[in-house]
């Protein structure tokens, strides 16, 4: 199954290629719109107000009307914004891969996704709470248990299940093949792609749609980030997400979704599907930093080295790293240290890009969106600058691309994605040789 490539390494002859993509972020809902905005250094991070809250900073998806998705009102009751984003991106990945022309049975298509946390809306529970308030202002449990709970909508529990949005997207696309759902951080979206890739290599599906979707930014998601001490502080101006910057103070939440369609190259050739990039390797590890909510250097390094070994390439063969780079103090330091250790012997240091400066932290959606951007880098032979006006932290010694796009031939891109609990994943995508 292998032949030698131009670097003397064995080369897989039937790799997993990317034949379609769907994306939505604060910067737009097409790859070209987002790509264009990133090249112009535009950030989707902004101040927003939500239902009377104090202004918060996040990269939220705005001006997206789910009415265009044609969702039945019966189903809409148990859908949130995350569901709409997932359905939209999955449909686009399906559409651009031209699957409708592929003579596929529903069970031939696999489906994998990383899903963020699903937070309940206070409005869903408030009527039951208000109906059971006692004289002292607290819940009277007798009232609550006896009857007030019936104020909760019968379908509310389904909304709360992480897998329900996923199943709704599968129903819409009539997908019945291999599937699963991971949750909730950046590694989960990467793992969904990895599982999809393995499913294809194991011939369990002919095509796989895989990716991940962020949480809906809400008071609870912001509170969760704040309590975990990962968010950049709100200031008089908009909080910045400054990956590897000397003024980095934390991350900024974002909304978005990235889904890709993948298949074996032979299958894509057989049906005449277009592709230009493939996923050539991945690594997964778990090791938490002893002090802070982020992976350890060892964990990150292990995932990156595994990915290199799986792709059968050397560190010098990597042109760009799309770093996890979430703008947290220790998280970025550990990732930078791991990059420096892995690429220590490499004669040329890879360029480092971090999308979170412009898109915010999409959590489960982060890695799939970065895969789509990495594919674009390979196709367009250019790398956008990391958004924002700040100075790189020179002590981290990463080759961060700043201020202007870099136009350069890009053969391979490494993508890192981590959780705050120590889970690490690293993927390599590369140009498909003809």
Partner 1 sequence: MAATMSERRVVITGCGMITPLGRNTDETFEKASHGLSGIDYIKGFDTRGLPCQVGGEINNQWIEELQPPGAKRLQAYSARGLRLMMAATHEAAGLARLHEVTDRSRIGVALGSHGDNPAVDDINLLHRFYDGKGNWDLQGLMDAGGYSALNFFRRKPDAATSLLSMLFNCKGTNLSFVSACSAGAQAIGEAYRLVKEGTSDVMVAGGCEATLNFTGFIGFVLIKALVEKYASPQKASRPFDRKRNGFVMSEGAGSVILEDLEHALARGVPILGEILGYGDSADAYRITDTHPKGEGAILAIQGALDDAGLGVGDIDYINAHGTSTIQNDLTETRAITAVFGDRAKKVPVSSNKSMLGHTIAAAGAIECILTLTGMHRSIILPTINHEFPDPKCDLDYVPNEARMQSYRRALSNSFGFGGQNACLCIAKYEG
Residues of span 221-280 touching partner 1 by CB under 8 A: 222-224, 226-228, 280
- Report residue 127 as tokens: 């009527």
Contacts (CB under 8 A) with partner 1, residues 188-207: 188, 191, 195, 198, 201-202, 204
Q: Using CB under 8 A, which of 33, 75, 337, 379 touches partner 1? A: 75
Minimal distance, residue 272 CB to partner 1, in Å: 21
**H helices within 208-292, ranges in order?**
219-227, 265-271
Site string for partner 1, 130-149 (x = CB under 8 A): x------xxx-xx-xxxx-x
Minimal distance, residue 90 CB to partner 1, in Å: 12
Between CA 282 and CA 305 the distance in angstroms is: 9
**Residue 407 interacts with partner 1 (CB under 8 A)?**
no
Between CA 323 and CA 309 the distance in angstroms is: 19
Minimal distance, residue 337 CB to partner 1, in Å: 18
**Residue 348 interacts with partner 1 (CB under 8 A)?**
no
What are the DSSP E strand ranges found in 178-225?
A: 179-182, 207-213
Q: Using CB under 8 A, which of 175, 210, 252, 383 touches partner 1? A: 175
Minimal distance, residue 19 CB to partner 1, in Å: 17
Q: Please, which residue, 164 or 351, has the CB nearer to partner 1?
A: 164
Q: Using CB under 8 A, which of 3, 4, 8, 51 touches partner 1? A: 51
**Residue 52 interacts with partner 1 (CB under 8 A)?**
yes
Contacts (CB under 8 A) with partner 1, residues 409-428: 419, 421-423
Q: Using CB under 8 A, which of 181, 213, 268, 320 touches partner 1? A: 181
Say if residue 136 is exposed, middle or buried (CB neighbours under 10 Å; 0-12, 13-18, 19+): exposed
**Residue 174 interacts with partner 1 (CB under 8 A)?**
yes
First vs last Cα of the chain: how many Å apart?
16
* Residue count, binding to partner 1 (CB under 8 A): 96
Between CA 1 and CA 99 the distance in angstroms is: 26
Q: Please, which residue, 42 or 158, has the CB nearer to partner 1?
A: 158
- Report residue 423 as tokens: 């889970």
**Residue 326 interacts with partner 1 (CB under 8 A)?**
no
**Residue 432 interacts with partner 1 (CB under 8 A)?**
no
**Residue 168 interacts with partner 1 (CB under 8 A)?**
yes
Q: What CA–CA distances, in Å, run from 8 to 83, 306, 353?
A: 45, 19, 28
Say if residue 179 is exposed, middle or buried (CB neighbours under 10 Å; 0-12, 13-18, 19+): buried
Minimal distance, residue 400 CB to partner 1, in Å: 28
Give the residue carrying structure tokens 């990317």. Answer: 18
Q: Please, which residue, 178 or 326, has the CB nearer to partner 1?
A: 178
Compute CA 69 distance to the chain's CA centroid, rounded to the nearest angstrom: 22
**Residue 70 interacts with partner 1 (CB under 8 A)?**
no
The conformation of residue 210, written as its DSSP 8-state character, comes to: E
Minimal distance, residue 238 CB to partner 1, in Å: 17
CB-based contact 301:336 (threshold 8 Å)? no
Cα dihedral 104→265→30→367 (10° resolution): 110
The conformation of residue 328, written as its DSSP 8-state character, comes to: -
Contacts (CB under 8 A) with partner 1, residues 292-311: 299, 302, 310-311
CB-based contact 61:81 (threshold 8 Å)? yes
CB-based contact 304:342 (threshold 8 Å)? yes
Minimal distance, residue 169 CB to partner 1, in Å: 10
Provide the β-strand partners of residue 157.
Answer: none
**Residue 152 interacts with partner 1 (CB under 8 A)?**
yes
- Count of residues in the chain: 434
Q: Using CB under 8 A, which of 36, 287, 330, 380 touches partner 1? A: 287
């Amino acid at each position: 199954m292998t032949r030698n490539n131009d670097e003397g390494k064995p080369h897989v002859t039937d790799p997993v290629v990317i034949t379609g993509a769907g994306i939505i972020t604060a910067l737009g809902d097409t790859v070209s719109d987002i790509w264009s905005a990133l090249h112009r250094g535009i950030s989707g991070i902004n101040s927003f107000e939500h239902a009377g809250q104090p202004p918060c900073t996040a990269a939220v998806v705005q001006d997206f009307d789910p009415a265009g998705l044609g969702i039945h009102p019966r189903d809409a009751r148990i859908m949130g914004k995350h569901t709409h984003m997932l359905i939209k991106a999955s449909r686009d990945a399906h559409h651009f891969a031209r699957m409708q022309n592929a003579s596929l049975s529903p069970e031939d298509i696999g489906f994998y996704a990383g899903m963020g946390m699903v937070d309940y809306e206070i409005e869903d529970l408030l009527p039951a709470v208000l109906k059971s308030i006692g004289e002292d202002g607290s819940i009277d449990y007798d009232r609550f248990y006896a009857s007030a709970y019936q104020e909760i909508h019968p379908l509310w529990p389904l909304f709360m299940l992480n897998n329900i949005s996923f199943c709704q997207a599968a129903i819409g696309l009539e997908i019945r093949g291999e599937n699963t759902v991971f949750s909730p951080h950046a590694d989960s979206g990467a793992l969904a792609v990895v599982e999809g890739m393995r499913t294809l290599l194991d011939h369990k599906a002919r095509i796989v749609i895989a990716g991940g979707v962020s949480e809906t930014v809400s008071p609870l998601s912001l509170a969760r980030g704040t309590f975990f001490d990962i968010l950049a502080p709100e200031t008089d101006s908009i909080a910045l997400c400054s990956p590897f910057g000397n003024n980095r103070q934390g991350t900024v939440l974002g909304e978005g979704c990235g889904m890709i369609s993948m298949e074996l190259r032979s299958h894509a050739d057989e049906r005449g599907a277009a592709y230009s990039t493939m996923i050539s390797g991945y690594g997964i590890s778990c090791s938490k930093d002893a002090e802070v909510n982020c992976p350890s250097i060892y964990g990150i390094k292990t995932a990156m080295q595994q990915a290199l070994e799986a792709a059968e390439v050397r560190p010098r063969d990597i042109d760009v790293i799309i770093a996890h780079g979430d703008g947290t103090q220790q998280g970025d330091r550990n990732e930078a240290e791991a990059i420096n250790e892995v690429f220590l012997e490499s004669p040329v240091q890879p360029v480092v890009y971090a999308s979170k400066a412009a898109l915010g932290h999409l959590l489960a959606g982060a890695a799939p969106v970065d895969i789509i951007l990495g594919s674009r880098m390979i196709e367009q032979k250019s790398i956008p600058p990391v958004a924002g006006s700040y100075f790189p932290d020179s002590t981290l010694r990463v080759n961060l691309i700043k201020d202007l796009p870099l136009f350069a031939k890009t053969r391979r891109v490494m993508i890192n994605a981590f959780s705050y609990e120590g889970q690490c994943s690293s993927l390599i995508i590369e140009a498909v040789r003809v």
